[in-house]
């Protein structure tokens, strides 16, 4: 077990979305570290991904939960996403769907869905206690 409090973010590979999410999770969940699992259009990737992609993402999340003791998994969508160029409404729908997928993985963690807006502010779309 590593020292410090970990959380996990399944976030877009877009570098603009990384630091706002890390800072927000550290501040709002009092984390020391955030394990990042990145995928283009992460919200859609989790909500509608292939079985192979979902198995890969789940395996990475499992390392964070089991080896780092992460008690939180966040899935993130963001404005101006090149990997998932849809409306904010569609992103929010996919974020909600993605949290359901992650909950079904069965980890004993809180699962949240986050949105990063056009000014790089983070807000909660949905939250499920573990």
pLDDT per residue of the chain (130 residues) written in tens, 0 to 9:
557 999 999 999 999 999 999 999 999 999 999 999 999 999 999 999 999 999 999 999 999 999 999 999 999 999 999 999 999 999 999 999 999 999 999 999 999 999 999 999 999 999 988 6
Range of the domain at 16: 6-128
Domain count, the chain: 1
Q: Would you say residue 85 lies in a domain?
A: yes
Counting beta carbons within 10 angstroms of the beta carbon of residue 48, is it exposed (0 to 12), middle (13 to 18) or buried (19 or more)?
middle
pTM for the model stands at 0.95
Q: Would you say residue 1 lies in a domain?
A: no
Three-state DSSP state, 74: strand
């Amino acid at each position: 077990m590593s020292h410090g409090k970990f959380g996990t973010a399944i976030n877009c590979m877009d570098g603009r979305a990384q630091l706002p999410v890390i800072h927000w999770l550290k501040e709002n969940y009092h984390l020391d570290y955030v394990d990042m699992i990145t995928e283009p259009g992460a919200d859609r990737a989790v909500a509608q991904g292939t079985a192979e992609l979902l198995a890969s993402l789940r395996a990475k999340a499992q390392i964070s939960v089991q080896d780092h003791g992460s008690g939180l998994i966040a899935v993130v969508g963001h404005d101006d996403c090149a990997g998932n160029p849809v409306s904010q409404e569609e992103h929010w729908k996919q974020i909600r769907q993605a949290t359901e997928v992650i909950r079904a993985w069965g980890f004993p963690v809180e699962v949240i869905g986050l949105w990063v807006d056009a000014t790089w502010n983070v807000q909660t779309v949905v939250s499920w206690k573990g």
